Structure 1
Amino acid sequence: MDEKWFLLGDIHGSAEPVMDFYLKNKERLNLDSSKNYMILLGDVGANFALTGQRDPIFKTEISKYPFTFICLRGNHEARVKMVMGKNPKGWEAITKYDGVIFVEKEFPNIEYLDDGPAVYNFNGYKTLSLPGAYSVDKWYRLARHWTWYEDEQLNEQEMELGRKLCKAKSPFDLVISHTCPFIYEPRDLFLAGLDQSTVDATMERYLGEIEFDLDYKRWAFGHFHADRLYPWNDGKQMLMLFNENVVDLDKFMNMTEKQSFDEIIA
């Protein structure tokens, strides 16, 4: 069966971006007769509330569409191992993509990557996964008793693991992260009125350290709620992605310096 691979940014617990893409492109891309994989770059929202019906309703809705969803952990969602601990019989760890993923038995087409740095093989592309980020609305959430996860960022041990993976497994075809290296922060998109001195940039500085001398070809991240293709840099390409446009993974991986963002959309 033909395989198709896609990238999409933060969908925040809404199946609508996936539904829209499917309905508009199912015939053109033959989505009903191919095996489709969609890598979601964090803040998926599948394990957001953990109580009540919000999460299972979303998982049921998104499972209606013919995709295997590969979920990178963002900041607005729980670590998958914490969720597994609440219902160990309902989950399983599976060896797949040359690594280990985690699957809830009730929703087998929603796959979760490791909570820390890990290496996978997606469609033949050697991929470094770097999850987590800081919630700039942390204090707003806490003041209103909204959901916030204290372990949203990588801890020191996980950061060190990421450094070791870079040394041992480099080069990489693709890096996926939720936030971005510090120098690529889109400061024009920062929230107006937010005192940036209160924002913890630990993850961005860490990713900047990783990116500085890492041998890679493509890097994709979400988090900032916009689409942006950064300037070509010695064969490397940085992509920021939100949820309005789905990117074709092969087009992204094989793009040239002269190509635009529109030319890598699925």
Structure 2
Amino acid sequence: MTKSDITIIAGDFGGVWHEGRRDDIQLALLEDLPFTMAFVDGNHENFDALAKYPVSEWNGGKVQFIRPHVIHLMRGQVFTLEGHTFFTMGGASSHDIEDGILDMDDPNFRGKHIHLLLENQRHFRIRGRSWWPEELPCAEEYAEARRNLDAHGWTVDHIITHSPPTSFAAILNRPKDELTDFLEELRQRASYRRWLFGHCHGDRMLDEKHQLVYRQIVRLI
């Protein structure tokens, strides 16, 4: 492989998290790999840290260059890679927050935190530390996705997302939300060859066009 080869992560990249030297070391290792690494964002990203990177244009869509060959493919974009078109839409609803989301500005934060740990209620997140509301797209990101799809006649070769559409979320025991509903509209309306998504921690071919990926690497081109 060479830097002209592109590997795409279907969300939960996590390489931009701590900010500073700890990220720099890991990102340097990724930059040294013998290929270009691109990713759509998942729900487990530090969106505050990610937002600090400038937005650029690359192969027809908006990106953030984390490193020259580590690239965030932003939401609602259409990219042309080696003559194939790719629609990308990051984001998903966190499913490991049944015990709540804590806010460090809450004067009772410490007590609530200790209580959850003592009660062995570990499915909680902390706002701005391990959970961000930006895990789901905003109205403008949906609008931009629709504009870009309109410009391509809702026809692309490949779709890469983190969340599944609602019909597959139901099969995989994940709840529906506004993003899965948007993706379900995309599934029913768009013309495409393959759709790969992550989020559900498994490797599974759902039908001839839709594939859940986790550890598996799938060659598309």
Determine the structure 2 residue equivalent to 1:95. 57
Q: 1:70, 1:111 within 8 Å by CA — same for their partners in 2? A: yes
Over 3 Å counting, the alpha-carbon distance change for 1:152 and 1:182 in structure 2 is same
Q: 1:207 aligns with which of 167, 183, 186?
A: 183
- CA deviations 1:223-261 (Å, max 9, x no partner) are 1111111223xxxx1111112x211122xxxxxxxxxxx
Determine the structure 2 residue equivalent to 1:109. 69
Query: What secondary structure does 1:172 align onto?
Result: coil
Determine the structure 1 residue equivalent to 2:108. none
Structure 1 position 165 matched with structure 2 position 148: yes
Q: 2:87 aligns with which of 123, 128, 131?
A: 128
Query: What secondary structure does 1:101 align onto?
Result: strand
Q: 1:45, 1:55 within 8 Å by CA — same for their partners in 2? A: no
| Structure 1: stretches of 5+ with no match in the other structure | 1-30, 191-195, 251-266
Name the aligned partner's letter for residue 76 of structure 1: H
Determine the structure 1 residue equivalent to 2:204. 228
Query: What secondary structure does 1:57 align onto?
Result: helix
Q: 1:181 aligns with which of 165, 172, 176?
A: 165
- CA deviations 1:91-123 (Å, max 9, x no partner) are 55443212232113xx32111122x31111122
Give the RMSD, CA atoms, in angstroms: 2.4
> How far, CA to CA, are the matches of 2:61 and 2:147 in structure 1?
16
Q: 1:156 aligns with which of 118, 139, 143?
A: 139
Q: 1:242 aligns with which of 201, 208, 214?
A: 214
> How far, CA to CA, are the matches of 1:56 and 1:176 in structure 2?
26
| Structure 2: stretches of 5+ with no match in the other structure | 102-123
Over 3 Å counting, the alpha-carbon distance change for 1:144 and 1:224 in structure 2 is closer
Name the aligned partner's letter for residue 38 of structure 1: T
Name the aligned partner's letter for residue 118 of structure 1: Q
**Identity %, equivalent residues:** 24
* Structure 1 residue runs of 4 or more that deviate by more than 4 Å after TM superposition: none
Over 3 Å counting, the alpha-carbon distance change for 1:54 and 1:41 in structure 2 is same
Q: Aligned pair count?
A: 196
Shift of 1:175: 1.0
Name the aligned partner's letter for residue 74 of structure 1: G
Q: 1:83 aligns with which of 49, 60, 81?
A: 49
